[in-house]
Amino acid sequence: MCVLMGCAGDDSPGSGCASCEIKNLEGSCVPNLRGCDDPRPYIGYYGEDPGVFEPVDASRGVYLDGGSFDVPASSERTQCTYVVLSPEADFILGRYEARMSAGSHHFNMMRFDPGTLEAAGIELGVPQDCVNVGVPIYVAGSEWHYVDAPLSNGLGEKIPAGSGLVMEVHYVNTTAEQLRGRVEVNLFRRDASEVEHYIGLYFNVMQGFEISPRSTGTFRARCPAAEGANVVLLTSHMHRFGRRFTISLFDDVAGTNEPLYESLTYDHPVIQQRTDQPLVIGPNQGFEWSCEYENFLDEPLREGEMGLTNEMCIMVAYYYDERGGLPYCFQPASAF
């Protein structure tokens, strides 16, 4: 039996679609339903909250409440809520859903060895200042108020049994009123029998760039990729000074540099799905990514975490099959 969780009208985020439909990541209209047998594939939705979120039943996954906190007027604040998953079995993620209140800049979920949380004496389940508890591995995230992101059939993301998770929420309040920050997350379980490939992640971070006051600057960096990896998703992350983000595939032997991706918006970066035709990494190949900035401040703009006064240039690529090890590649920026 199909159960409606909410209907998108003409003035909703699904504008342009029929009643009770929303747009997916490919821009196609899909039913705003859960548990319905529909011939069209449900790719996912990133945008404003369409009003369909409710905690997932424990038989289908895990619901996580990140709690709430105040964000004073004309300020920004990052808070982290730490939890620990069941130690009984690995959790195979097949889809995640997250909802943030207004004023959010981004949400990240990362996993840790739970022993690091215990050793640091971290209180679980309540928002608090973020603590350095070792190198985390990225699980999920969004720069939208609402995200519903299913992995394609046959794919799964393995989260080891008993993992510690952190919900990191960054808010930028440019208003004259105090905001209330909050995130809720549903992690939907996928049965191991349905998984053909496990997802891995490339998280490539550019470091050490600076743009002079009242000027523009463009920077690039390169990171290798493993031969045989099948890339199924590309996306990017910048702050409010970002004007253009590109990703290309370089080949050191052939001397080529093939354009793959472009995004012209920092707050709603392009989510490029390649599941139907994965990009297969060949020998001697890797990713080059670039960021173009406009510094409209009267002071230098540097790499950093603050959304109002710093910038970032991070590319993210999902691939299969997962190779193990830490997914990060940090490279110094090169101006051009």
User: What pLDDT is attached to residue 7?
Assistant: 34
- Degrees to nearest 5, angle at CA 313 with 113 and 150: 55
DSSP, residue by residue, 191-244? -GGG-SEEEEEEEEEEES-EE-TTEEEEEEEEEE--TT-EEEEEEEE--TTEEE
pLDDT for 262: 97
What's the token pair of residue 191? 């049965």
Amino acid in position 160? P
20 conformational bin, left if phi > 0, alpha if psi -120 to 50, beta if neither: left
pLDDT per residue as tens, the chain (336 positions): 222 233 333 334 445 777 667 777 667 776 554 444 455 556 778 877 777 788 999 999 999 999 999 999 999 999 999 999 999 999 999 999 999 988 888 899 999 888 888 888 999 999 999 998 878 899 998 888 898 999 999 999 999 999 999 999 999 898 999 999 999 999 999 999 999 999 999 999 999 999 999 999 999 999 999 999 999 999 999 998 999 999 999 999 999 999 999 999 888 888 898 988 999 999 999 999 999 999 999 999 999 887 778 899 999 999 999 998 889 999 999 998
Place of tokens 């390169």: 222
The per-residue pLDDT for 8 is 35
Distance from C-alpha of 1 to C-alpha of 258, rounded to nearest angstrom: 47
Overall size of the chain counted in residues: 336
Distance CA 198, CA 156 (A): 5
pLDDT at 336: 83
**CA torsion angle 65 71 75 80 (round to 10):** -30
| Domain covering 199-335, topology | Jelly Rolls (2.60.120)
Q: What is the DSSP letter of 123?
A: P
In this structure, are strands 334-335 and 215-224 parallel, antiparallel, or unpaired?
antiparallel
Gap between the Cα atoms of 245 and 275, Å rounded? 21
Using the CB atoms, write b or e for 32-70: b if 16+ within 10 Å. bbbeeeeeeebbbbbbebbebbeebeeebbbebebbebe
Q: What is the spatial distance between Cα 140 and Cα 149, in angstroms, rounded to a whole number?
A: 9
Torsion of CA 293, 296, 300, 306, to 10 degrees: -70
Cβ neighbours of residue 130 closer than 8 Å, sequence gap 6 or more:
78, 79, 80, 166, 168
Show me where the domains of the chain are located. 1-41, 53-195, 199-335
pLDDT of residue 268: 83
Q: Report whether the peptide linkage leading into residue 321 is cis, meaning its omega lies within 30 degrees of zero.
A: yes
Its pTM stands at 0.85
In this prediction, residue 291 carries a pLDDT of: 98
pLDDT of residue 2: 28
List residues bridging with 156 in a β-sheet: 198
CATH level 2 (architecture), domain 53-195: Sandwich (2.60)
Fill in the amino acid letter for 187.
L
